[in-house]
Amino acid sequence: MQQGVGAYIIQRWAMKTYGVRLLVMVIPHTLGAKLNFNLHLHTLVSTGGLRESDSTWLPNLEFNEVALMHMWRYCIVTYLRAAIKMGIVARYLDRRDLKKILTFQYEKPWNFYIEKFGSEYNFLKYAGRYLRRPPIAQNRIIKITESDVTYWWKDRREKKHKLRTCTLEEFVALLGEHIPDRYQNSIRYFGLLAPYTQGQTKAALYALLGQTPRPHPPRLLYPESIKRDFGYDPLLDSKGQRMAPVGFRPPVRTEFN
């Protein structure tokens, strides 16, 4: 829900302010500093937009951070109030207490940051940090025993690294919260990038920007991808001999006492 609402708010503001449609990509991110579940959105937006009234491209748009924050806060709080009123939100507090919490949240400023990328490289580097990555880097895990796991996390308030130890079961449960559901996309497209509009506007955008569509790069096989990114061949065994498939063994049910 938040992905679509966030993209809608930005597009709505751009249409009212400049009369343009934008290219919007939304990457949901669930990781908190302690490996806890902390959902937030990384929304990548073009700095230019298509003004369909006269078929022109307006570059170098300026975005108002305060106005967008107010629109985002109003939309989310209004949605939650309506959901609570209709009884479609699971709640553990009294309805009056929930209303007080929403009123308090509505009266305080929300975190809403806007950052510009100077190049395509910086754009891809930023987006790549939140796509297809494990919940925790291996170098953050300090120690693993038969009963617990110790890893470090960064306390942004005190600006220093701290250690956290949890049981194996707790650690697995923390990781499980960040595994996306089946068929859930790790990136969503809106605006001029929405699948249902690309066929209508793609050719016009390339013409207005004076660009030529690039052909899709050939798909790399798994071994070639590993060699390119990590510098070793995964099909070579410990003796340097190339492995090859020799057959398939179906899974066998095993009973544990």
Does the pLDDT of residue 255 top 80, yes or no? no
Q: What is the pLDDT of residue 256?
A: 59
Q: What is the pLDDT of residue 142?
A: 94
What token pair was written down for 188? 């969503």
Residue located via tokens 């959105």:
41
The C-alpha atoms of residue 225 and residue 229 are separated, in whole angstroms, by 6
Phi/psi for 208 (5° steps) reads -65, -35
pLDDT digits (tens, 9 = 90+) for 123-166: 888 887 777 778 888 899 999 999 999 999 998 888 899 999 99
Amino acid sitting at position 110: W
Amino acid sitting at position 99: K
Specify the pTM.
0.71
Cα 2 from chain centroid?
11
pLDDT digits (tens, 9 = 90+) for 25-75: 988 888 888 888 888 888 889 999 999 888 899 999 999 999 999 998 999
- Closest by CA position to 21, among listed 194, 236, 252, 213: 194
**Which 3 state secondary structure label does DSSP give 42?**
strand
**Which 3 state secondary structure label does DSSP give 30?**
strand
pLDDT digits (tens, 9 = 90+) for 185-199: 888 899 998 888 877
In terms of Cβ atoms closer than 10 Å to its own Cβ (0-12, 13-18, 19+), residue 26 is buried
